[in-house]
Structure 1
Amino acid sequence: MSVRTTSWEWDGERTDLHDVFSLLWGMNLRVRDVTSVGLLTELNPAIDIDSEVYARLLVPLQAGTLSALESKEYFKALGRESFAVHDLAQAVLGLMPLEDPSRAAGATYKPEPRWMSAVKRNLRLPDWREYEFRRRTAPDWRAFTSTRRGVSVVELGRRKMDVLRDAFSSYRPRTADAADHLAFRTDALVNAVPNATMRRAFRLLAAVEGETRGPVTIPFESHVVVLGRKTFVALRQPCGAGVFEQSRTVAETERVARDDVFLRTETYTWRTPLDPSRFEELVGEILEREPGMHFIRQIGATNEPDDGRDFMAEWTVPPSGAVVEGVTDGMPLMQRRHVLVQVKIRGRGVSKQDMPDIRDTLEHHRCSGLMLVAFPNITAQFANRLLALRRSGRFWIDWWQRGQIEQRLRQHPDIVRRFADLVTVNRP
Structure 2
Amino acid sequence: MNEFQKHLLGAEYLGYSISSRDLMEITPEANKKITVKRHFLQTSPSSPIGLRSDLVKFSPFPQNLFGYVRTTSWDFDNDRSDLHDLISCIVGITLRHYNISTSLLTVTHEDLGLTKMPAEIYARLLSFERHRLSHFEESDIPSDAIQQVFLGTYFAAFLMDNVFSYTSSHYPIWEQFEDRANKIARFLDKRVISGKQNFMCRKNPDWFWFRSFKSGISIFSFDESTLNNFKAAFEQELSTMQFQGVTRDIIKFNEMGHAICPKKLDRGYATLEFLKDSNYQKPKIIPIENKFFLIGKNHILAIDDECGEESYRKELQQIKLRNDEERRFLFPSPNFVWSVPTNPDRFEKLCKELLQQESHVTRIKRVSSINEGDGGKDLIAEWLFLNPSPNSADSSPYILKNILVQCKAYKNSVGKDRVQDIRDTIDMNNADGYHLIVSSQLTTQLFDYLSILRKRGIQIDWWTRDDLEDRLRKHPDVVDRFLDIVKPT
Map of 2:483 onto structure 1: 386
What code does the residue aligned with 1:195 have?
A: P
1:263-288 Cα shifts (integer Å, max 9, x gaps): xxxxxxxxxxxxxxxxxxxxxxx9xx
Of the three residues 292, 306, 311, the one matched with 1:243 is 311
Cα distance between partner residues in 2 of 1:106 and 1:38: 29
Q: Given that residues 109 and 133 in structure 1 are in contact (C-alpha distance below 8 angstroms), is that contact kept between their aligned partners in structure 2?
A: no
1:146 aligns with 2:221: no
Q: Given that residues 11 and 107 in structure 1 are in contact (C-alpha distance below 8 angstroms), is that contact kept between their aligned partners in structure 2?
A: no
Q: Given that residues 51 and 148 in structure 1 are in contact (C-alpha distance below 8 angstroms), is that contact kept between their aligned partners in structure 2?
A: no
Unpaired runs of 5+ residues, structure 2, are 1-66, 361-472
Unpaired runs of 5+ residues, structure 1, are 98-102, 261-285, 292-317, 338-367, 373-381, 391-397, 402-428
- Structure 2 counterparts to residues 50-89 of structure 1, below 5 A: 50-63=118-131, 70=141, 75=146, 78-89=149-160
Q: Given that residues 90 and 96 in structure 1 are in contact (C-alpha distance below 8 angstroms), is that contact kept between their aligned partners in structure 2?
A: yes
1:197 aligns with 2:264: yes
What code does the residue aligned with 1:94 have?
A: S
Of the three residues 65, 71, 90, the one matched with 1:24 is 90
Cα distance between partner residues in 2 of 1:159 and 1:69: 44
1:162-187 Cα shifts (integer Å, max 9, x gaps): 12222345133222211131212123
Map of 1:38 onto structure 2: 103
Residues 63, 160 of structure 1: CA spacing in aligned structure 2 closer, same or farther, 3 A cutoff? same
1:353-382 Cα shifts (integer Å, max 9, x gaps): xxxxxxxxxxxxxxx97537xxxxxxxxx9
Q: Given that residues 13 and 107 in structure 1 are in contact (C-alpha distance below 8 angstroms), is that contact kept between their aligned partners in structure 2?
A: no
What code does the residue aligned with 1:106 have?
A: P
Cα distance between partner residues in 1 of 2:182 and 2:232: 27
Cα distance between partner residues in 1 of 2:145 and 2:255: 15
Cα distance between partner residues in 2 of 1:249 and 1:174: 18
Cα distance between partner residues in 2 of 1:171 and 1:54: 32
- Structure 2 counterparts to residues 205-216 of structure 1, below 5 A: 205-209=272-276, 211=278, 212-216=280-284
Of the three residues 143, 166, 174, the one matched with 1:95 is 166
Q: Given that residues 10 and 106 in structure 1 are in contact (C-alpha distance below 8 angstroms), is that contact kept between their aligned partners in structure 2?
A: no
Runs of 4+ in 1 over 6 A off after TM superposition: 322-328
Cα distance between partner residues in 2 of 1:113 and 1:155: 15
Cα distance between partner residues in 2 of 1:246 and 1:259: 14
Cα distance between partner residues in 2 of 1:133 and 1:112: 8
Q: Report the structure number with the largest CA radius of gyration.
A: 1
Residues 255, 109 of structure 1: CA spacing in aligned structure 2 closer, same or farther, 3 A cutoff? farther
**Displacement, 1:155?**
0.6
Cα distance between partner residues in 2 of 1:80 and 1:64: 17
- Structure 2 counterparts to residues 128-167 of structure 1, below 5 A: 128-167=194-233
What code does the residue aligned with 2:89 have?
A: L
RMSD: 3.9
Residues 254, 24 of structure 1: CA spacing in aligned structure 2 closer, same or farther, 3 A cutoff? same
Map of 1:186 onto structure 2: 253
1:181-207 Cα shifts (integer Å, max 9, x gaps): 121212352211011111111111111
- Structure 2 counterparts to residues 24-423 of structure 1, below 5 A: 24-33=90-99, 35-44=100-109, 45-63=113-131, 70=141, 75=146, 78-96=149-167, 103-112=169-178, 114=180, 116-168=182-234, 170-209=237-276, 211=278, 212-256=280-324, 290=331, 321=335, 329=351, 331-332=354-355, 335=358, 370-371=475-476, 385-388=482-485, 399=488, 401=489
Cα distance between partner residues in 2 of 1:323 and 1:177: 33
1:205-225 Cα shifts (integer Å, max 9, x gaps): 111125522111111101011
Cα distance between partner residues in 2 of 1:154 and 1:322: 51
Residues 321, 152 of structure 1: CA spacing in aligned structure 2 closer, same or farther, 3 A cutoff? farther
Cα distance between partner residues in 2 of 1:62 and 1:16: 27
Q: Given that residues 115 and 207 in structure 1 are in contact (C-alpha distance below 8 angstroms), is that contact kept between their aligned partners in structure 2?
A: no
How many percent identity over aligned positions?
19
What code does the residue aligned with 2:83 have?
A: L
Q: State the TM-score, normalizing by the size of structure 2.
A: 0.52
1:312-363 Cα shifts (integer Å, max 9, x gaps): xxxxxx9x957989776464598479xxxxxxxxxxxxxxxxxxxxxxxxxx
**Displacement, 1:137?**
1.2
1:103-127 Cα shifts (integer Å, max 9, x gaps): 5433524323647514433322442
1:382-403 Cα shifts (integer Å, max 9, x gaps): 9894254x7xxxxxxx74x4xx
What code does the residue aligned with 1:41 have?
A: T
- Greater mean deviation of Cα atoms: 193-202 or 148-157: 148-157
Map of 1:10 onto structure 2: 76
What code does the residue aligned with 2:476 have?
A: M
Q: Given that residues 223 and 237 in structure 1 are in contact (C-alpha distance below 8 angstroms), is that contact kept between their aligned partners in structure 2?
A: yes
Residues 118, 143 of structure 1: CA spacing in aligned structure 2 closer, same or farther, 3 A cutoff? closer
Residues 198, 74 of structure 1: CA spacing in aligned structure 2 closer, same or farther, 3 A cutoff? closer
